[in-house]
Amino acid sequence: MSEERIINIISNRNYESRKTKKNLIYKLRKNGFEPSETYSDKAELNICIGGDGAFLRAIHRNAFPEIPFVGINTGHLGFFQELLPNEIDSFIRRYKAQDYQVEKIYMVDATVCTKKKCFYLTGINEIVIKGVRSKVVHLEVFINDNHLQRFSGDGLIVSTPSGSTAYNFSAGGSIVYPSLESLQITPLAPINSSAYRSLPNSAIIPGDAIIQIKPELRYENSILVLNDGMEFKYDSIVSIDLTMSDKKIYKLNFSKDMYWNNLKSKFL
């Protein structure tokens, strides 16, 4: 008896997603696969139905699995979700024929150290350091122990290449091709005056570098850390170290031109 070919189906609950999920499950079973609506570690593939938010939640909730993902877009932007509901038949045919590439998604790790202990976060798109209730913050920024700047403004985004088209892009940061091992620091409303001088533009940092951010003493309790949009508040922050994560996510790519076509269709 042949081994079951399990495929995890991860979906949000909007009408279009539920309709797409029902159709997908029917067609997968028809082609000899075993769809699972509860997450199975024995699956060979994760199919995420929804928008980019659903994709990010699926990865966080399932602890950054090594099982590759493919996304069916029923949301708005859908930068991670490359397939449309009407492409299910083509997707199954190409998947069975192994007509695809597996690409890596690089992530960012943050070590947030307070006066009492350290906390660890992993972000897919970005980790943001900003002031609570939109207060101005003053942050000392170091790259590999080299002092870069004393930043004053709303905060800083540290984004991955995949995340460069998300919050980073909206804040004026650069678009970085996903296969480049790098992180990007992008300022949020930097203050430049006779009293304060901050870099006005983003900086792209090598993937093996350590970015260290230290809030001024009087701002140690005024810092908010956002991990892919999820808020975390820590008391008495001493430093935040950010590095490219050793963990990686894997995603199916059905066209070498998909990234550029996606970029044009979503943003131009």
Instruction: Report pTM.
Output: 0.93
2: pLDDT confidence band, cut at 50, 70 and 90? Answer: low
Distance of CA 242 to the CA centre of its chain: 14
The answer to whether 132 and 222 are in contact (CB under 8 A) is: yes
| Beta-carbon count within 10 A of 85 CB | 16
pLDDT in tens, 145-179: 999 999 999 999 999 999 999 999 999 999 999 99
Catalytic positions, please?
52
- Beta-carbon count within 10 A of 188 CB: 19
Whole-number percent of the chain with pLDDT over 70? 97
Architecture of domain 107-246: Sandwich (2.60)
For the chain, which residues make up each domain, given as ranges?
Answer: 6-99, 107-246
Q: How many CB atoms lie within 10 A of CB 14?
A: 15
CATH of 6-99, one of 3.40.50.1400, 3.40.50.300, 3.40.605.10, 3.40.50.10330: 3.40.50.10330
